[in-house]
Chains A and B, each alone.
Chain A
């Protein structure tokens, strides 16, 4: 790519900073079956997640969801596999970078903050924005751009319950065979 091409591409990608993508309200409230199915696979045996009577008698006095299920409640579901993710600004950004040879993708960092534990019947909404996009970087995988999304989670009363940042590297795979 020429310097002019790169400048043109960067003008396009930086326009995505601040764009909202993936705003939704969970189709199911926080519930025991989804918690149990998750705990089975993760090997989590905490009765505060699994046994309503024990949880009610315990320190919390109620059953709560595991913390790292925060992002599970609003997942898109089987459509991701059957028909593909619906277009949103993040998908457009990825497509744009793909089209310019930055077709590698890897998640690098994510942080979740939990403002309170989620309880049964909470209905979780989330709103994600593209928070920032780095300058062009040289990495071990190749040249590329890091972009970071911020997702804010709230309950049925609009009260914040958690926050997530998620950083992704979109890169032009280094041609190792020509090195």
Chain B
């Protein structure tokens, strides 16, 4: 089980271990459905191509969910998410890899802000997020 981080374990500028995530058709489509997002651009390649994209692409709720899972594995099971701000960039298209990285931006008592970047190896920055987490005391 992941250990729950305490504020004394965390300092500004601390980085999280990187996590490469292969972006596959299966991930894009199955995650879209798990988030109940039935927009055709996430499961119908021909439709996505007609809209000018090379293939189906990841939906935003999945980018948020992968960010949550990435942070959860670092911070431990008991911390509570208070806020997640997401800036969206390049699409996540099958056949690429998104590498997630993170850096602690602030620590105030049990409240920690962490910036997470999901960098797509072909298309550039997919997502840049700032999460506010409340540590288990």
Interface residues, chain A, with chain B CB atoms under 8 Å away:
37-38, 40-48, 58-60, 66-69, 71-72, 75-81, 106-114, 117
Task: For the complex, give the distance between the alpha carbons of A77 and B36 in Å.
Answer: 6
A108 CA to B60 CA, complexed, in Å: 10
Q: Are A108 and B38 in contact (CB under 8 A)?
A: no
The answer to whether A42 and B39 have CB atoms under 8 Å apart is no
Q: Is the CB of B77 within 8 A of A68?
A: no
- Report yes or no: A38 in contact with B34, Cβ–Cβ below 8 A: yes
User: Among A42, A75, A108, which residue has its beta carbon within 8 angstroms of that of B66?
Assistant: A42
Per-position contact with A for B109-137: 1 when CB-CB < 8 Å, else 0? 00000000000000000000000000010
Chain B nearest CB, measured from A61 CB (Å): 11
Q: Which residues of B contact A110 (CB under 8 A)?
A: 60, 64, 85-86, 88
Contact sample, A vs B, 6 pairs, CB 8 Å cutoff: A40-B34, A41-B62, A48-B78, A109-B87, A111-B86, A114-B82
Q: Are the C-beta atoms of A76 and B85 separated by less than 8 Å?
A: no
Verify if B27 is at the interface (C-beta below 8 Å from A): yes
Asked if B72 and A111 sit within 8 Å, CB to CB, the answer is no
Instruction: Tell me whether A68 and B78 are in contact (CB under 8 A).
Output: no
> When the two chains form their complex, are residues A68 and B40 in contact, meaning their CB atoms are under 8 A apart?
no
Q: Closest A-chain residue to B44, C-beta based?
A: A81
Interface assignment of B3: CB less than 8 Å from any CB of chain A: no
Cα-based distance from A41 to B36 in the complex (angstroms): 12
CA distance A44 to B81 in the complex (A): 14
When distances are taken between beta carbons in the complex, the residues of chain A under 8 Å from B14 are none
Tell me the smallest distance from the CB of A166 to a CB of chain B, in Å: 9
Chain B neighbourhood of A72, CB < 8 A: 35-36, 61
Shortest beta-carbon distance from B126 to chain A in Å: 12
User: In the complex, what's the smallest C-beta–C-beta distance from A33 to chain B, in angstroms?
Assistant: 11
Q: Chain A residues with Cβ under 8 A from B27's Cβ?
A: 41
Contact B78 A59 (CB under 8 A): yes
Q: How far is the CA of A72 from the CA of B30 in the complex (A)?
A: 14
Identity of the chain B residue whose Cβ is nearest the Cβ of A44 in the assembled complex: B69
Q: Do the beta carbons of B65 and A42 come within 8 Å of each other?
A: yes
Name the B residues within 8 Å of A107 (CB-CB). 60, 88
B18 within 8 A of A: no
Q: Is the CB of B84 within 8 A of A58?
A: no
Q: Least Cβ distance of B115 to chain A in Å?
A: 14
